[in-house]
Amino acid sequence: MSENELNSLWNSFGKNINLVAIMTILTLVTGITGIIALIFLFLALGNIKMINYRLNSQYLDDFRSKYITSFILKMVTIPILIVGIVLLVFPFGGWYIPGFWWINLVIGIVPLIIAVVLFIVSYSFEMKAWENLKFFLEENRSMFPEYLVRETIDGAEKLRTGALLNALGFLIITAIVGFILQIIGFFKLAKFENFHLSVPLSKPSVQHAPVAPTPQEPQSRPSPYAVETKVVGTRPRFCPNCGAELKEDGKFCSECGSKIN
């Protein structure tokens, strides 16, 4: 996978998360958009899966797996919660035992308790999911521009806090604050859609042929051992022509007549 393909996946992740944020807001008006938001959320998780083929990060793997686990637990919780509510609201069904009101109460409360426990556990998995995404961004901040890292780390933290408050949703006010924090967190994570699709290629450096140095004439340097001396000429004792012994003051050889220098 090339750098451009990897950046394109991060860009797609941001676009899908942005649609999740918009559709989640629209659930306040029409509930059907919540299902659409869920679809785009799983598309974003698919982007993370493809990204992790290249990066092989344990944090990204845990983020995806824990979020899916959280979703499955929520899907299991919903029917159990509905059964518990029905048993409490309509106690005179076929399961009602006359004279044993406490048994009827227990039959209705037990499913509710199970649903609440599963509900809290599911949000704890969601908290860990966003926490793992935050850890990945913190440890790999050099991969992205600094402004993008700051925004997305803050977004992951807000989503983690929102999941915690939603786990305490029975207090109502915490559910409202958690919903708002999750919307803000989604929009901050959506900053990835502004991530550059291409990596600027570095210009090849122009290499010039090496220029041969201009030959320089060797400079004569005086030998450190040279000593200035005067050479005094000496008169030869024998004639260089015939070999006869010369007289001290004679300019010519007495034997052959050759001139002596």
pLDDT digits (tens, 9 = 90+) for 43-52: 999 999 999 9
Same-domain pairing of 44 and 134: yes
Distance from CA of residue 64 to its chain's centroid?
17
Residue 88 has pLDDT above 70, yes or no: yes
**pLDDT 10s digits, 112-154:** 999 999 999 999 999 999 999 999 999 998 889 999 999 999 9
Tokens of 98: 């006359």
* The residue type at 179: F
Which candidate, 107, 113, 23, 126, places its Cα nearest to that of 69?
126
Q: Decide if 207 is inside a domain.
A: no
Q: How much is the pTM? A: 0.69
The answer to whether 49 and 61 are in contact (CB under 8 A) is no
CA 198 to each of CA 2, 53, 175, 201, 226: distance values in angstroms, whole numbers, following the listed order: 10, 19, 40, 9, 72
Q: Decide if 101 is inside a domain.
A: yes
Kindly give, in sequence order, each residue whose CB lies less than 8 Å from that of residue 221, ignoring residues fewer than 6 positions away. Answer: none
Q: Decide if 247 is inside a domain.
A: yes
Same-domain pairing of 135 and 236: no
- Structural domains of the chain, count: 2
Question: 154 lies in which domain range?
Answer: 3-194
* The residue type at 163: A
CA 186 to each of CA 3, 238, 242: distance values in angstroms, whole numbers, following the listed order: 25, 119, 122
Q: Decide if 224 is inside a domain.
A: no
pLDDT for position 209: 41
Q: Decide if 132 is inside a domain.
A: yes
Region 237-258: what's the mean pLDDT? 69
Q: Among 142, 166, 194, which residue terminates a domain?
A: 194
Same-domain pairing of 126 and 240: no
Q: Among 146, 172, 194, which residue terminates a domain?
A: 194
Q: Decide if 167 is inside a domain.
A: yes
Q: Decide if 249 is inside a domain.
A: yes
Kindly give, in sequence order, each residue whose CB lies less than 8 Å from that of residue 39, ignoring residues fewer than 6 positions away. Answer: none
Q: Decide if 220 is inside a domain.
A: no
